[in-house]
């Protein structure tokens, strides 16, 4: 790993539950030595990527990431475009909808919408890493990833998030094959109990998966009819978003829409 990649890898330790981290925390999480972490964090700080706050001078992400995100959004307006798509999907299904995007080999939730229709709903956190084999979004992305990555991923030990998580590689291959046939992936109780989700991949200009759109409902509310309606809606929403961000579906993606 080069020095730059090493420094930027330090930023991956910040997440929803660790918005601020002290030097010791980052040192521990990274496994690097403290002097190196201190020097790299100093360089990141000089560039506005992190800043130090409070009496304990803990680090948190800096304002420069907002400027870069505004420029990324101008180049690929996925947030502004997906907000409307997610809202429509929410209205149509009465359940929580969300968008996740792939960066490298990690899938991260980015934006969500809640429906006011029911007294209970699936709650979402933005910027959370989603499990590839245990969430509908992860399976949707994996179903369209290159074979090399899928083989590599399935060869690693797979985490059982709940007692219902499928961790058998051969069974997961069957799940991916089904997802690919339908253009929609499904996951019930596998990442969190009582959550049933359906997701469809979105594609970039090179026909590679860029992320996924999903609808998540309390499992207790999911009927077969509702499941079919959501599967259809989530697929249409994903096709719409792919088109709006200038992407293209692979030739074998099942594109027929409901009448």
The two counts, helices (H) then strands (E), for the chain are: 9, 8
Rank residues 75 and 251 by Cβ distance to its own copies and give the closer one.
75
The reply to whether 63 sits near its own copies by the rule CB under 8 A is yes
Report in angstroms how near the CB of residue 71 gets to its own copies at its nearest.
Answer: 5
The reply to whether 64 sits near its own copies by the rule CB under 8 A is yes
Closest CA to 134 of 79, 186, 209: 186
Residue from 40, 200, 202, 231 in contact with its own copies (CB under 8 A): 40
The reply to whether 258 sits near its own copies by the rule CB under 8 A is no
CA 257, CA 236: separation in Å to the nearest integer? 7
Residue from 29, 32, 76, 219 in contact with its own copies (CB under 8 A): 76
Rank residues 124 and 176 by Cβ distance to its own copies and give the closer one.
124
Alpha helices in 136-168 (DSSP H): 136-143, 147-155
The reply to whether 123 sits near its own copies by the rule CB under 8 A is no
Rank residues 108 and 165 by Cβ distance to its own copies and give the closer one.
108
Dihedral class, residue 253 (left if φ above 0, else alpha if ψ from -120 to 50, else beta): beta
Q: What distance lies between CA 134 and its chain's CA centroid?
A: 12
The reply to whether 66 sits near its own copies by the rule CB under 8 A is yes
Contact string (CB under 8 A) for its own copies, positions 216-235, x = contact: --------------------
The reply to whether 131 sits near its own copies by the rule CB under 8 A is no
Instruction: Starting at the earlier edge strand, list the strands of the sheet with 195-203.
Output: 129-130, 106-113, 96-103, 209-218, 195-203, 185-188
Residue from 34, 71, 120, 151 in contact with its own copies (CB under 8 A): 71
Rank residues 64 and 194 by Cβ distance to its own copies and give the closer one.
64
The reply to whether 65 sits near its own copies by the rule CB under 8 A is yes
Residue from 23, 25, 30, 60 in contact with its own copies (CB under 8 A): 60
How many residues are given for the chain?
Answer: 259
CB contact burial 95-133 (16+ within 10 A = b; e otherwise) = bbbbbbbbeeeebbbbbbbbbeeeeebbebeeeeebbbb
The reply to whether 5 sits near its own copies by the rule CB under 8 A is yes
CA 185, CA 143: separation in Å to the nearest integer? 8
Number of residues that bind its own copies (CB under 8 A): 52
Strand ranges (E), 24-138: 50-53, 58-61, 96-103, 106-113, 129-130
Binding site for its own copies (CB under 8 A): 2-5, 7-9, 11, 14-16, 19-20, 39-40, 43-44, 46-49, 53-54, 60-76, 78-79, 101-104, 108, 110, 126-127, 205, 210
């Amino acid at each position: 790993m080069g020095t730059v990649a090493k420094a930027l890898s330090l930023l991956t330790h910040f997440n929803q539950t660790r918005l601020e981290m002290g030097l010791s925390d980052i040192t521990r999480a990274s496994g690097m030595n403290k002097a190196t972490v201190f020097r790299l964090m100093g360089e990141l700080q000089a560039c506005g990527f992190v800043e130090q706050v409070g009496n304990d001078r803990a680090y948190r992400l800096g304002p420069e990431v907002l400027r870069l995100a505004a420029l990324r959004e101008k180049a690929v307006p996925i947030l502004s475009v997906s907000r409307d798509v997610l809202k429509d999907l929410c209205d149509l299904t009465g359940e929580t909808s969300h968008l996740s995007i792939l960066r490298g080999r990690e899938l991260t939730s980015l934006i969500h919408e809640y429906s006011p229709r029911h007294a209970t709903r699936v709650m979402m956190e933005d910027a959370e890493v989603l499990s590839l084999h245990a969430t509908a979004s992860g399976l949707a992305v994996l179903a369209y990833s290159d074979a090399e990555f899928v083989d590599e991923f399935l060869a690693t030990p797979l985490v059982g998030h709940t007692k219902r998580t499928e961790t058998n590689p051969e069974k997961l291959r069957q799940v991916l094959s089904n997802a690919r046939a339908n253009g929609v992936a499904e996951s019930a109780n596998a990442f969190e109990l009582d959550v049933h989700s359906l997701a469809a991949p979105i594609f970039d200009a090179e026909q590679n998966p860029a992320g996924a759109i999903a609808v998540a409902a309390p499992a207790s509310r999911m009927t077969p009819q509702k499941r079919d309606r959501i599967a259809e809606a989530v697929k249409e929403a994903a096709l719409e978003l792919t088109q709006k961000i200038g992407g293209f579906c692979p030739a074998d993606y099942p594109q027929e829409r409901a009448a």
